[in-house]
Structure 1
């Protein structure tokens, strides 16, 4: 497919003339199937990034009509549905991907959809399948680690988070969650090391600041705890953990009024925290 045709199809989609763009793509498909697939998938993903799910869905669905076994189109449409919070729709598209061929990230993302639906058994099974398909899938180790944390099995969680960062040393999230697992095991030194690393990799990672605040709190360093929670709240004012941990620090510092205010705010963001009073 020549650049002029690619540009014309792209402009038609950008101007809302999706049917015209898809007709042009369909006409070009017999001679340039890979180019058409790459172009439409790229356009669709661009609209997902813009949060224009309606346009992205039309593009991916149009590509599937042209090429019914286009794995990337099903996968990308599933990702858009996952991003939009439509878990059942996402699962259907990932099912279709996996009917056509095994894909580690399709298992991972379907597992995420099952996690969102509260079906940890199916999620765990999918993360296991992802690792059978590709043992170097860092995301599968990370999310499986989250399930082990949820089950209270910190040893297995730490193992999986460690494997995730071994595969991808630039992956901030497993450091953050491994840090929390170390805190659960009362190893604040290792926890601080991991949380520092998470923040080094992603300076805008509010949750890591909140949890580092908890690590400082566990060591009795109330000022550092409050400073980190303040930073977490500046980054994300809807972070319940940051308010909760800051409230704990204020409480232990003797400032019960501020502690009460933070506790109320934390519970308004996450009602489950009402079962965990200071």
Structure 2
């Protein structure tokens, strides 16, 4: 009851003074203490449960300890292989490890995720991205399209589908996908670069030059930002970001 009163007071103060640093500090500390004690209690009452291992995996993941996260997620799979989302999480941390077999191992996990949850747009997207990087463009197109269909506001899926269509010599079909990506985020330099590629394939030289200039402007602007803005902490559930090739001017 004491915790309940404290939480209610913290919520009320946060609503009354949403920009007060001291209120935010105490509210954050209170919620952090409650979360810590709750996890401690969970580990005591159900030490071998899927909940404990998933919580441990997520904690390792946000700290960039991907090998440890994978160990915990695999324990969840052993306990409940049909648990929605767990194969996706496992695939993501495998993909983040520097291993020659990482893509193939992650691909298998993303495929398992779609078997468990066919609506998981993130898993479909990651399959598409791996297929694209491995040169299987028709497969990449199929899964990028699946991800975009299941989650229409999925910017990375739109960009991935567009660049794959360009590589398949279908630039006219890529244009609506890039336009959809622009509506979601007009400041993404990767979208402008892919649009310049589409215009080049269509023979629209002036439009290509304009988009390439905008890409270079945005890229230079991004390079000038603080590293913390460029490299945000990885959150569970994030997907692989679309980027331009390393040799792009």
TM-score, length-scaled by structure 2: 0.69
Equivalent of residue 86 in structure 2, options 88, 100, 106 = 106
Aligned residues: 210
In structure 2, what is the Cα distance between the partners aligned to 1:80 and 1:216?
Answer: 44
- Asked if the contact 2:161/2:177 (under 8 Å) is kept, the reply is yes
Where do 1:133-212 residues align within 5 Å?
133-212=116-195
- What is the alpha-carbon distance in structure 2 between the residues aligned to residue 233 and residue 164 of structure 1? 27
Instruction: Give 1:31's aligned residue.
Output: none
Query: 2:46 pairs with 60, 67, 92, which one?
Result: 67
Higher helix share: 1
Which of structures 1 and 2 has the bigger CA Rg? 1
C-alpha change, 1:168 and 1:15, in structure 2 (3 Å) is closer
- Relative distance call for 1:140 and 1:234 in structure 2 (3 A) is same
Asked if 1 retains the 8 angstrom alpha-carbon contact of 2:190 and 2:215, the reply is: no
- Paired residue for 1:14, among 20, 29, 43? 29
| RCO higher in structure (CA 8 A, sep ≥6) | 2
Structure 2: 5+ residue stretches without partners: 12-25, 226-243
> Aligned pair in 2 of structure 1 residues 166, 78: CA closer, same or farther (>3 Å)?
same
Q: Secondary structure at the match of 1:193?
A: helix
Compared CA separation, residues 205 and 273, structure 1 to 2 (3 A): closer
For structure 1, the 5+ residue unaligned runs are: 22-39, 45-57, 240-269
Measured after TM superposition, the shift of residue 129 of structure 1 is: 0.8
